[in-house]
């Protein structure tokens, strides 16, 4: 059975490739803003709803494949954040995050034949150190536009590690794909050796 990643995210693709999973990637057709607008529920429920929507979008085009969808939701002080709309908004987000704790929830779902067949979420807490305006400007100079595609305005695999004092949670979850539970489910389905 074909395995398809409903994402063109380089990091999610790299995670799968690095653990030796052959897959194809397809762009999902999901209006994330519409899913988020008026959503009533927890961050975990929203993360899995977005993951399911992406998986279903591709599964409808590729019903024979097992499709992976994933997404992340970030909250700080009870406020949900999306990817920044530009560099100025990215700086505003970083100033808001300064000295606070990010709550990052990543969801992953599998769809086949146009139906969700499995889903899960994992969460992480990231304590942001106090950030000066000079640091924020230098950080954005060094890692823009790459961080413009990242909720939380950071790439943990890059200079973004400098934002944090402490991190509690799974590395893969922070990168946007709860990889270990996904691998377990793929083994349970006979798609990976046990």
Catalytic center residues = 71
CA distances from 167 to 126, 154, 163 (A): 4, 13, 10
Angle at which helices 87-97 and 133-143 pack, to 10 degrees?
130
Name residues whose C-beta falls within 8 Å of residue 191's C-beta, 6 or more positions apart in sequence. Answer: 1, 3, 66
Distance of alpha carbon 66 from alpha carbon 118, whole angstroms: 10
Contact at 8 Å (CB) between 89 and 70?
no
Place of tokens 């002080």: 77
Distance of alpha carbon 15 from alpha carbon 27, whole angstroms: 17
């Amino acid at each position: 059975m074909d395995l398809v990643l409903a994402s063109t995210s380089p990091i999610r693709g790299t995670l799968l490739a690095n653990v030796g999973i052959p897959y194809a990637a397809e762009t999902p057709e999901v209006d994330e803003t519409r899913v988020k607008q008026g959503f009533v529920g927890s961050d975990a429920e929203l993360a899995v709803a977005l993951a399911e929507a992406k998986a279903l979008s591709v599964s409808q085009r590729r019903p024979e494949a097992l499709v992976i969808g994933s997404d992340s939701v970030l909250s700080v002080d009870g406020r949900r954040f999306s990817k920044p709309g530009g560099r100025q908004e990215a700086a505003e987000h970083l100033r808001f995050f300064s000295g606070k704790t990010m709550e990052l929830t990543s969801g992953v779902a599998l769809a086949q034949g146009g139906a969700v067949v499995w889903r899960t979420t994992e969460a992480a807490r990231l304590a942001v150190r106090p950030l000066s305006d000079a640091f924020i400007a230098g950080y954005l100079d060094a890692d823009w536009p790459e961080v413009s595609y990242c909720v939380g305005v950071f790439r943990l695999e890059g200079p973004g590690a400098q934002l944090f004092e402490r991190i509690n949670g799974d590395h893969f979850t922070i990168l946007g794909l709860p990889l270990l539970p996904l691998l377990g489910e793929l083994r349970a389905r006979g798609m990976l050796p046990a």
